[in-house]
Amino acid sequence: MEPDMEPMKIAVLHIRDTREHDPGFQLELDELNASAATQILAEGHEPELVATWQLSLEQVQQLVDCSDAVIIMGGEDVDPEFYNGPEDYPGSGTHEPQADRIQIAAIRYAMATGTPLLGICRGMQLLNVALGGTLVQHLHNVQDHRCEGTDPFAQTRVGFVAEALAEDLSSGDLHLCSHHQAIHALGAGLQIAAMSSDGVIEAVVHDSAKATAVQWHPEHSQTAAAQLGPLIRRLAHQHAQPAAGEAEILQHQFAGA
């Protein structure tokens, strides 16, 4: 942690602690969650891992209020009902609509209260949906973004990174991706921060709120120090900044959402 940075409490929101229908996927996500928590601790901050599928709206708002920053982790596809997409599409599987609903509420509430936010993989897609965007439901070249077998992570090098974000987004690195969906139409206020060479949006930032999201997995144990570390430091810098005037606008926009 940088000398002038105060320790933060970071809420790490994932979906669930058990998946009887898919224990292998649960193990994969548990490892990613644990790696994220380890890197947060290494940066001098306090992680709080929270499964959201049974939380109420009031509980998730209290959680955000008690946190200095929020991270939305990966998991199942976002339920198409939240972006008016068809229910039947290639690669569709289990959806978690209650967790989607609660995490969307957490995203909107964090943005409205000026709480720094980071979305990872599904977390980026959910941020986009929370702001009215849509998703590509199944990439035509999915093999370039997700592998089969025991190691689902494909190596991806971004072809474009916004110059101001090059350090935060580890622009010179190979990134580990595992996804078959991606952002289609951008949500309100989001700007493209990185793209892969095949045109898939790999990172976004909000034009006024303290929100950043990446499609790859910086929290993977092989990359967490080099890639998640800078993103956590970005959250810390944002937390240290005074709340800007957009908070009142966002509060009005998301009131009752």
- Give me the catalytic one of 45, 145, 206, 217: 217
Q: Which of 121, 179, 202, 220 is catalytic?
A: 121
2 part of the active site: no
* Helix H or strand E segment including 112: helix 97-112
Give, in order, the Cα–Cα distances in Å from 1 to each of 12, 20, 45, 229. Answer: 18, 38, 8, 10
Please answer whether residues 198 and 186 qualify as being in contact, where contact means their C-beta atoms are separated by less than 8 angstroms. no
Which of 96, 202, 219, 246 does the annotation list as catalytic?
Answer: 219
Find out whether 60 and 106 touch, Cβ atoms under 8 Å. Answer: yes
219 assigned to active site: yes
Q: Is 102 exposed, middle or buried (0-12, 13-18, 19+ CB in 10 A)?
A: buried
Q: Is 66 a catalytic residue?
A: no
CB contact at 8 A, 191 and 205:
yes
Active site residues: 121, 217, 219
